[in-house]
Structure 1
Amino acid sequence: METKEAVTALAALAQETRLSVFRLLVQAGPEAMSVGSIGEKLKVPPATLSFHLKELSHAGLVASRQESRFIYYMADFAQMAALMTFLTQNCCQGMPQECLTVMEMALEGCCAPPQAKRRS
């Protein structure tokens, strides 16, 4: 990722509604959410939501697909990973192992595999 792309992505996320939309789509995972569902969940009017989704899309942080008359959005996890990589590229003065533990712990909360049921 180039600096200009990172600035565009960070600028898109530097707004409360867009950050809320992006976080909601990240929580949804690879399953897309309809524009209507996003609006209902966040209580954002359709015209306002459309504007914010356009900004996130322009920044490459979300992707969309149309099914019939509905539009579904999903987080672009590859772009999110590219942004995180850009931000931590030269972490800890060239000793990334110092940062890895912190990053791994943070990602476990997001992407932890489901717990297997214990048998009694």
Structure 2
Amino acid sequence: MTYEVHFLQALVLTVLLEAGALLAALRWLFHADARTLPTWKILAAALACTSLTLPYVWFLLPALELPHLQSLAVGEGFAVIAEAALLMGLLRMNPKGALAASLICNSFSALAGSFLLG
């Protein structure tokens, strides 16, 4: 299987995991009301966040040729910060809430992805 096919599999899995995590976090931890923040908006934001950050992590980060743990830290750090900024714009979240939500989503998908994909 090619690198690009692995990327597409990871993209689909990451979108599913992070969309579920974001929906759960916003509804149960942040108590976001479905009337003021519809589910479709949360899911669309999760799709946008992952679709806009994962290609950088998969296709540009390897060019830095960092050791595995450093690459993981840089990639996840980039994703958390970039996705927090996107959540602030797309869902009008405050910076602290957006950063917390992004950290929850990325931590969940990184742990679940490593468990599911080895």
TM (normalized to structure 2)? 0.28
* Greater Cα radius of gyration, structure 1 or 2: 1
Higher relative contact order (CA 8 A, sep 6+): 2
TM (normalized to structure 1)? 0.28
